Amino acid sequence: MTQLSRDQVVARLKQLPSLPSAVSEVLASFANEDIEVETLAQQIARDQGLAARVLRVANSSFYGLQNKVGTIHEAVVVLGFRAVRSMVLAVGMNGVFRAEQCPGFDVQGHLRHGVGVGLAARALAPLAGQAPELAFTAGLLHDIGELVLASNFSRQYAEVFAYRRERDAFLVDAEREVLGIDHAEVGGLLAETWRFPAAIRDAVAWHHRPAEASADSLGNLVHVADVTARALGLSGNPDEMVPPLDATAWARLGGDWQAYAGLLPQIEKGFEATCQAMTA
């Protein structure tokens, strides 16, 4: 057993490199609705690598655009500021963590699961009365704590995977058992360190314990989306397993199975294309 203390994790989080400035600006804009859209678009456009990746996602079948967009400005005009902002946040996190150095960590499966939960959260957002774009971003980033653990505590986290494989346990249970802390808590700490929007921080921190979040928290939607993505087997991981669906979270989404079933096809439509756009 290699227990990690909260303080150890927080100390390590403080040493993380800061986010690209365009991503930080976008984050700040969540708290400041008066921000000039044009200023922000220019800022994103100046980070050429980021802009190129955002445009790739914008032109993927995820948005189903008839005509391709060629600039961030066009993307903002066609898709709306909120959609572009969510994309910047999601795409900007890619490549910040070196999770592949952790033995047993399935980098590809992690990404596919994130995309699956993002698409599920977006599709199910109307049930929760949440904004679809924000829900997508929250879903995509909900397991960011796993990336923190895999890249900063690789050796300890590898023990979690060994434990998990041996007992066919849920990852979150293996983490609590081996490390004494789980990826949701670690993700919540990262979200605080990087000043994520409160709604996304909430989803990251509470998706495994949604009943403890507030009734209107995105944690409820992301929990249901997480369970859904696993039930659909989207990660492609052969050891995938579905956790119990939290009754409180489900009731907070309205508890309508018929409405839920009607939204399932949307989740799988465009899944592979979105995965590709996100990896590129």
Instruction: Provide φ and ψ at 145, rounded to 5°.
Output: -60, -30
- Range list of H helices, 47-153: 48-58, 72-79, 81-93, 107-128, 132-141, 144-152
Instruction: Compute the distance between CA of residue 278 and CA of residue 185 in angstroms, rounded to an integer.
Output: 25
Position 16 contacts other proteins (CB under 8 A): no
Query: At a CB cut-off of 8 Å and minimum separation 6, what does 125 contact?
Result: 131, 132, 135, 221
Instruction: Compute the distance between CA of residue 91 and CA of residue 87 in angstroms, rounded to an integer.
Output: 6
Position 177 contacts other proteins (CB under 8 A): no
Give whichever of 64 and 265 is closer to other proteins, judged by the CB atom.
265
State the nearest-atom distance from the C-beta of 114 to other proteins, in Å. 18
Give whichever of 27 and 229 is closer to other proteins, judged by the CB atom.
229
State the nearest-atom distance from the C-beta of 230 to other proteins, in Å. 7
The mark string for 180-219 relative to other proteins (x by CB under 8 A, - otherwise) is: ----------------------------------------
Give whichever of 152 and 220 is closer to other proteins, judged by the CB atom.
220
Residue recorded with tokens 């050891």: 239
Position 64 contacts other proteins (CB under 8 A): no
220: how many CB neighbours lie within 10 A of its CB?
28
State the nearest-atom distance from the C-beta of 229 to other proteins, in Å. 11
Give whichever of 51 and 172 is closer to other proteins, judged by the CB atom.
172
Residue from the set 135, 246, 252, 275 that interacts with other proteins by CB under 8 A: 246
Position 242 contacts other proteins (CB under 8 A): yes
Written as one string, the DSSP assignment of 182-241 is -HHHHHHHHHHHTT--HHHHHHHHHTT-GGGS-TT-HHHHHHHHHHHHHHTTTT--TT--
State the nearest-atom distance from the C-beta of 99 to other proteins, in Å. 24
Instruction: Compute the distance between CA of residue 236 and CA of residue 256 in angstroms, rounded to an integer.
Output: 28
Instruction: Compute the distance between CA of residue 47 and CA of residue 25 in angstroms, rounded to an integer.
Output: 12
Position 260 contacts other proteins (CB under 8 A): yes
Instruction: Compute the distance between CA of residue 213 and CA of residue 205 in angstroms, rounded to an integer.
Output: 9
Position 264 contacts other proteins (CB under 8 A): yes
Part in contact with other proteins (CB under 8 A); list of ranges 127-135, 138-146, 174-182, 257-265: 257-265
Instruction: Compute the distance between CA of residue 164 and CA of residue 214 in angstroms, rounded to an integer.
Output: 30
State the nearest-atom distance from the C-beta of 251 to other proteins, in Å. 8
Give whichever of 17 and 265 is closer to other proteins, judged by the CB atom.
265
Are 161 and 103 within 8 A, CB to CB? Answer: yes
Dmax over CA atoms of the chain, in Å, equals 55
State the nearest-atom distance from the C-beta of 249 to other proteins, in Å. 9
Give whichever of 202 and 226 is closer to other proteins, judged by the CB atom.
226
Position 244 contacts other proteins (CB under 8 A): yes
Give whichever of 94 and 237 is closer to other proteins, judged by the CB atom.
237
Q: State the residues that interact with other proteins by CB under 8 A.
A: 168, 170, 227-228, 230-233, 240-247, 250, 257, 260-261, 264-265
